Structure 1
């Protein structure tokens, strides 16, 4: 296994509930009487893209909103909440990243969230995880097309000078799995708190804890 590609910030630390709370804070800040309870939010997570999600919800309830502005507020609230959240790396993440380095495998974060969100997460997780632990970070400033488009993974594979067959992707949502599979990658589903009920049939494996040795077994060159 030449590289491990973490597909979202929630594959490193489970931030899903912080995200939902940030959405609700943004709605209040923009004078919207919306409240996404957990059941409502769970149903939205089969597709990704925060601004798109807001726009689609607004259309469903017959409202007109500036989805981009609301989403920008949401991202600000999310970053603010991360700083004092005490969020920690998910089970097995630190050991897997260390083992990868020890074995000569590269580690990348391949997300299409904003660079500010990535920076906020890494700051919250330090010193356990730092920017220097990644050989590559792909974010929304790197590629134009969000997942399920394969652009982010294609860019990562090319930039790392690796082949899809020798890498493994880790994803916590269905669009991410679709993007990984479309890129020819073996993908391990690592659901977060709010995607645990999703059907990850396209993934090569589903796990609740990361383990470097187990990840090695799912690469196409294993």
Structure 2
């Protein structure tokens, strides 16, 4: 059996602008005079890890900031924003999950965000996509190292008992693509509105919608 991996919550629904809003509200809550506009945030998204981005931004400004605390506030704010927003699956995602499952393929969400963020997204998508649509959900608590480390994909393949050549990953950011490729998984880039324009040279293709028949052409075991 082959497997389809969605590599982040923003490959399922484009939450990127809600994430940026949450960062800015968290900065205000912690008394920081920071505000990331879209160009700032696009640059931040070339690296993985929200707390790491905050720490590096503070260091560049010569400021001493509790990055972990700010990021906790950001995550709580993001979850509240998800709960009060209208969120829909990205183009082709719901149909691709349905067709893949109906064709006997395994489908997994392979992210290293928090389980609370995953739960908030799936709650926001209730009636459209649910946890039961995934054979496996990987989150930050599943592995010791977050992306761009390969650990999340290695864990997913072990758990689902599949080989890299029988899998294809969908990622929306450069670090996610690097994680999949490091694990030997062919990766298709599906940029969100704030990662469009990033360098996805390591991806097998860059797409603006998800189509199951196109994805399966990248699974070596089906070629």
* TMscore range, shorter length: over 0.9
What are the within-5 Å matches in structure 2 for residues 203-222 of structure 1?
203-221=203-221, 222=223
Q: For 2:46 and 2:14, how far apart are their aligned partners in 1?
A: 17
- Can you list the C-alpha shifts for 1:47-102, whole angstroms capped at 9, x where unaligned? 01000000000001111010000000000000000011101000000100000011
Task: Output the CA distance in 2 between the equivalents of 1:197 and 1:203.
Answer: 13
When the two chains are superposed, the root-mean-square deviation of aligned CA atoms in Å is: 0.7
Find out whether 1:196 has 2:196 as its counterpart: yes
Q: Which residue of 1 aligns with 2:75?
A: 75
**Distance across 2 between alignment mates of 1:168 and 1:174:** 16
Q: Which residue of the partner structure matches residue 45 of structure 2?
A: 45
How far off its partner does 1:131 sit? 0.8
Following superposition, the deviation at residue 220 of structure 1 comes to 2.0
SS in 2 for 1:32: coil
TM-score (norm 1): 0.99
Name the structure 2 match of 1:122: 122
Q: Give the 3-state SS of the residue equivalent to 1:179 in structure 2.
A: helix
**Pairwise CA distance, 1:144:** 1.4
* 3-state DSSP of counterpart to 1:25: helix
Matches of 1:109 and 1:216, distance apart in 2: 17
The count of corresponding residues between Structure 1 and Structure 2 is 222
Structure 2: gaps (5+ residues): none
Unmatched runs of 5 consecutive residues or more in structure 1: none
* 1:22-171 mapped onto 2 (5 Å cutoff): 22-171=22-171
Give the Å deviation of 1:174.
Answer: 0.5
Segments of 4+ in structure 1 off by > 2 A?
none
